[in-house]
């Protein structure tokens, strides 16, 4: 599946503690991060390379990116 961008382990821990999501795990499984941030659904199709890169950073599928970023 996809490779998440590398972040400092403390940042990964902070993301998990604050938002209650495992960003790396979701990306490695090809899923969107779970609610309340994302939808937890499959994340396989992206509009363009920019959206695919955003997924590797945030773990948000195309639908959630569109909702959050107002596309």
User: What local confidence, expressed as pLDDT, does residue 1 receive?
Assistant: 67
Q: Determine, yes or no, domain membership for 39.
A: yes
Q: Whole domain around residue 15: which residue ranges?
A: 9-69
Helix H or strand E encompassing 24: helix 23-28
Is residue 2 a part of any domain in this protein? no
Whether 36 maps to a domain, the answer reads yes
Inside any domain, residue 38: yes
Mean pLDDT of 40-51: 97
* Predicted pLDDT at 61: 98
The answer, as to whether pTM is greater than 0.75, is: yes
d(CA 59, CA 46): 12
Give how many domains the chain has, as a whole number. Answer: 1
Give percent of the chain with pLDDT exceeding 90. 80
Query: Residue 62: its pLDDT value, please?
Result: 98
């Amino acid at each position: 599946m996809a490779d998440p961008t590398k972040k400092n382990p403390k940042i990964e821990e902070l993301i998990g503690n604050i938002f209650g999501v495992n960003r790396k795990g979701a990306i490695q499984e090809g899923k969107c991060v779970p609610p309340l941030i994302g939808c937890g659904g499959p994340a396989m199709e992206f509009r363009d390379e920019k959206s695919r890169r955003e997924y590797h950073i945030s773990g948000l599928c195309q639908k959630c990116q569109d909702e959050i970023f107002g596309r």
